[in-house]
Copies of this chain bind each other. A is one copy, B any other.
């Protein structure tokens, strides 16, 4: 099987994806090309735009991913701009925005595969849940400390790695991609 690159500067994301795809018999390599993200309303558009930018530079089969979190009370917000919004308004702002509102929210990851001369193809995975009213004490990552998946009694921050993985939007997207990739024998 030919090499497949995951273009990311985030080694944790790479390690997570490498393990998931290994179970499908796919050997993932990292490419730390830094693709500056463009502004789009959803993570799907960001992911596709990153794939086009990466393939121009790398000229090899590759995947990229982008993740967003969406508050159902608002419109594609904060979406793929989750980091910038969190840096801007923090937990205080997030809780203010949802005060007295429907607190339903979901994470969505889109993995996009592209190889030279081929149009990109995307696979998305979601995790639905809600934004809780109080920030978890154990803060692992921005939104994880206020996001509780459906069917759970803990926020992502309060879960073990294995517990969190059972809900993982990123794992769902990667599993979908792997299924397609193996069937299409690329």
Contact = CB atoms under 8 A, between A and B. Distances in A.
Copies of the polypeptide in the assembly: 2
Nearest to A37: B39
A180 interface: no
A85 interface: yes
Contacts of A38: 36-39
Interface size bucket, A side?
A: 20 to 34
A31 interface: no
Interface stretch (A21-29, A91-99, A124-132, A164-172): A91-99
A29 to B, nearest CB: 26
Given A36-B49, A38-B38, A79-B84, 15 more contacts: A36-B38, A38-B39, A39-B84, A74-B89, A74-B93, A75-B90, A77-B87, A79-B88, A81-B81, A81-B84, A81-B85, A89-B97, A96-B97, A96-B99, A97-B97
